[in-house]
Structure 1
Amino acid sequence: MEKSSYSYFTWAFIVTVVGLALGAWVGWNFTGTISGTLSIFFICVVLAVLEISLSFDNAIVNANKLKEMTPVWQQRFLTWGILIAVFGMRIVFPLLIVVIAANVGPWAAIQLAIAEPEEYSRIMGEAHLSIAAFGGTFLMMVALTYFFDEHKDIHWVHAIESRVSKFAAIKGVEIAFVLILMLIFASFLDETESATFILSAIYGLVTFLAVDVLGNVLDQQQAALEGAAKGGFGAFLYLEVLDASFSFDGVIGAFALTNNLFIIAIGLGIGAMYVRSMTIMLVEKGTLAQYRYLEHGAFYAILILSVIMYAQSLTHIPEVITGLGGAGLIGLSLWSSIRYNRKHGVEDSDVTPAPHAH
């Protein structure tokens, strides 16, 4: 019997209830008033919705990579990977920024988050330029690598994608594109900020290339040992860095709503569980194969997110624009896929679901 779509979200619903109850408890402990508790409860809800809206494309890209991985590594990513995503990126990462930026120890950073949330938020804000440049560059490379592919034969926006794929034969074309865009944005910043932006962007580029090379080497070694070229630790590593890059925007955006690290961790942690549930559903139900342009919509959303992260080095862009823009593109690609299926008589039953990922 095939699982219903709702059943994939059982754990996400449980985490939502527990998380919101925890949010109310934190609210009461920090404010001691019902209005303060309700306010913090509402912020947790908004943060969860923000994370979900920003992460549709993340779930689709995760599913795209997961379907190539062995069941063992699929399971490892969906268990260990989600723990790293929730605790590593939503709690450890913001603390690590403060540790580096303020040159204090981890315990001092935690105390700063509890006792002086305004100062903690200010330090996070000062690190925003570096984070935007690093994360924007990494995500831009992820998107451009998808489009600059000479073997890519399915095109959603045919006029653009067919031409772009022809340029894929030129070695390093996507790197050149990123470097040009990096220099354009840096030219609008003052000398100090420009140097920080370029250095952070280069770190993002080097990280992408290093993860790509290391991932291929590790997976080739595993394939030689197992006799099957399936994704293992290399693909797992790629997905973790990709998840981290997606998280930058949500974590930084969260500080616009609250300075409290614990509220941010609760709200974004709830959202992260929905991303996991969506990923499993997409893999098991074969949704990516069923809707041929859905993947395209996700990578367009990633490309736009990367440009927005670059643009945030110049001006503030509300997170709602980022979230709605990505969700809108994915919705449009889904609608295009449904139209294609109707036109060509493709039925849901024509697609074979992937093996279970958990």
Structure 2
Amino acid sequence: MRPIVRSSLALPLLLLAVCVPVAWILLSPAAAAALTALALLEIAMAADTSVPMAGIAARIQHPARRLFLSVGLVLGVLAMRLLLPPTAVAVTQAESPADAAAEAVLQPGLFAAHLAAARPGIAAFGAVFIWLVFSEYLFNVERTSRRAWLGRVEAALARVRFPRAAALGVGVAAAAVSVALADPSVRGALAIGSATGIAAYLANKVVAAWSTRDGAAGWKLHLHAATVVFERGLTVFMLFEILDGSYTLSSTSSSPGLNYLEEAAVAVVGVAIGAVFLARLTATVNAERGLKRLRYLKAGAAYVLGVLSVLLWASLAVPIPGGLAGWFGSVIIGLALLTSIPRRRSLRNQDPVAPAS
């Protein structure tokens, strides 16, 4: 996997090498330093999400896959990272989206307070939505042939008779428990967020199914790709904006010497560089068929989503440490990779089987 990562880093690092001097000259040394830090952080986080992205890219119909891996993925990550937090604040605070976006840049402290107030409902929405996405793997909704990574328990869950009903039932039960255990002041927000998450997931699946029905082609395939981008963009948003409590446009506010326009410019360019790396790494993993060569990598990618949904539900009751929220995906993907490598080595060491005469 190291050559894959190295080849994918070439363009993002080139963009960073070009943009940093430009920021230094046109803005300030502080802007250049902030851009470097933010872009490197985005690249590090993108490495965690590339494997799940590759798994989703494999589900997209071939004519739309190239557009998804080039333009759609970058735009989707940018939209979720930069626009979804102001949208959430606009809905919960009854503001216009423009006012919420201006607040994020001009008044980051007030925006952070508003986002924190909206957080319980958003987390409930994300927890049930991401659980339902993860349950597609856990309960083997598509009934694909695979070897269970976690042994007999996973194999048994993959054979349940009504997988979609099981996934929805567990999601509703977990949401109900989270509402019952929550503080009475936020129970209404949690209930609405959970119900909206279920409705959004079902609507997303209806659109995806319709867009690929009867050999659909053209713009419908791109619509299907958009549903996949929405799933992954929402996951990235929940992981890096809600669990760790930071918002991209506010993350550079502590850098000395930057005004709000410089902060916005640095944030947009930094996120864009990270998104380009994510798109290239995902495309490379998909082209190299990494998910087929490493048989448990897809399982690890799925369990990243499962753990994220559990952490989101848990975060409604107890604080989640930032380190755990930010890097648990690396541990899961690493374990999946390590448990896949011995098989590859053993296959290489085996003598070729002679064809029957």
Q: What TM-score bracket applies, with the shorter chain setting the length?
A: 0.7 to 0.9
**Quick check: 1:85–1:240 contact (8 Å CA) kept in 2?**
yes
Q: CA deviation at 1:25?
A: 7.5
**Quick check: 2:72–2:226 contact (8 Å CA) kept in 1?**
no
Query: Which residue of 2 is the match for residue 356 of structure 1?
Result: none
Query: Aligned partners of 2:196, 2:19: CA distance in 1, in Å?
Result: 35
Query: Which residue of 2 is the match for residue 353 of structure 1?
Result: none
Query: Which residue of 1 is the match for residue 260 of structure 2?
Result: none
2:283 alignment partner, one of 250, 264, 280? 280
Q: CA 1:108 to 1:245, structure 2 compared with 1: closer, same or farther past 3 Å? A: closer
Query: Which residue of 1 is the match for residue 318 of structure 2?
Result: 315
Q: CA 1:86 to 1:4, structure 2 compared with 1: closer, same or farther past 3 Å? A: closer
Query: Which residue of 1 is the match for residue 241 of structure 2?
Result: 251
Q: CA 1:110 to 1:156, structure 2 compared with 1: closer, same or farther past 3 Å? A: closer
Query: Aligned partners of 1:160, 1:107: CA distance in 2, in Å?
Result: 49
Q: CA deviation at 1:135?
A: 1.6
2:42 alignment partner, one of 40, 48, 57? 48
**Quick check: 1:59–1:279 contact (8 Å CA) kept in 2?**
yes
Query: Aligned partners of 2:85, 2:275: CA distance in 1, in Å?
Result: 16
Query: Aligned partners of 1:140, 1:23: CA distance in 2, in Å?
Result: 41
**Quick check: 1:89–1:244 contact (8 Å CA) kept in 2?**
yes
Query: Which residue of 2 is the match for residue 13 of structure 1?
Result: 13
Query: Aligned partners of 2:175, 2:117: CA distance in 1, in Å?
Result: 20
Q: CA deviation at 1:17?
A: 3.3
1:104 alignment partner, one of 67, 82, 95? 95
Query: Aligned partners of 2:92, 2:217: CA distance in 1, in Å?
Result: 43
1:200 alignment partner, one of 193, 210, 234? 193
Query: Aligned partners of 2:348, 2:224: CA distance in 1, in Å?
Result: 35
> What pairs with 1:268-307 in structure 2 (closer than 5 Å)?
268-307=271-310
Q: CA deviation at 1:314?
A: 1.9
Q: CA RMSD in A?
A: 3.0
Letter of the 1:186 counterpart: V
Q: Secondary structure at the match of 2:182?
A: coil
Letter of the 2:235 counterpart: F
Show structure 1 runs of 5+ residues with no match.
Answer: 29-33, 348-358
Q: CA deviation at 1:274?
A: 2.1
Query: Which residue of 2 is the match for residue 351 of structure 1?
Result: none
Query: Aligned partners of 1:110, 1:211: CA distance in 2, in Å?
Result: 26
Query: Aligned partners of 1:129, 1:50: CA distance in 2, in Å?
Result: 27
Query: Which residue of 2 is the match for residue 332 of structure 1?
Result: 335
Show structure 2 runs of 5+ residues with no match.
Answer: 254-262, 351-357
- State the identity %: 19
> What pairs with 1:76-155 in structure 2 (closer than 5 Å)?
76-149=67-140, 150-155=143-148
Query: Aligned partners of 1:314, 1:25: CA distance in 2, in Å?
Result: 47
Query: Aligned partners of 2:217, 2:269: CA distance in 1, in Å?
Result: 41
Of residues 15-24 and 110-119 in structure 1, the stretch that sits farther from structure 2 once superposed is 15-24
Q: Secondary structure at the match of 2:146?
A: coil
Query: Which residue of 2 is the match for residue 174 of structure 1?
Result: 167
Q: Secondary structure at the match of 1:127?
A: helix
Query: Aligned partners of 1:245, 1:333: CA distance in 2, in Å?
Result: 23
Is it true that 1:158 corresponds to 2:148 in the alignment? no
Please list the CA deviations of residues 68-94 of structure 1 after superposition, one character each: whole Å capped at 9, or x if unmatched: 434431122123313432431122222
Of residues 161-170 and 248-257 in structure 1, the stretch that sits farther from structure 2 once superposed is 248-257
Is it true that 1:210 corresponds to 2:199 in the alignment? no
Query: Aligned partners of 1:46, 1:130: CA distance in 2, in Å?
Result: 31
Query: Aligned partners of 1:20, 1:306: CA distance in 2, in Å?
Result: 36
**Quick check: 1:291–1:334 contact (8 Å CA) kept in 2?**
yes
**Quick check: 2:5–2:281 contact (8 Å CA) kept in 1?**
no
Please list the CA deviations of residues 23-56 of structure 1 after superposition, one character each: whole Å capped at 9, or x if unmatched: 767984xxxxx6x658745752564256325xx2
**Quick check: 2:296–2:339 contact (8 Å CA) kept in 1?**
yes
Q: Tell me the matched-pair count.
A: 331
Letter of the 1:250 counterpart: F
**Quick check: 1:148–1:168 contact (8 Å CA) kept in 2?**
no
Q: CA 1:178 to 1:232, structure 2 compared with 1: closer, same or farther past 3 Å? A: same
**Quick check: 2:93–2:114 contact (8 Å CA) kept in 1?**
yes
Query: Aligned partners of 1:169, 1:68: CA distance in 2, in Å?
Result: 22
Of residues 155-164 and 105-114 in structure 1, the stretch that sits farther from structure 2 once superposed is 105-114
Q: CA deviation at 1:126?
A: 1.4
Q: CA 1:98 to 1:18, structure 2 compared with 1: closer, same or farther past 3 Å? A: farther
Please list the CA deviations of residues 323-345 of structure 1 after superposition, one character each: whole Å capped at 9, or x if unmatched: 32211111111111111222344
Q: CA deviation at 1:97?
A: 2.3
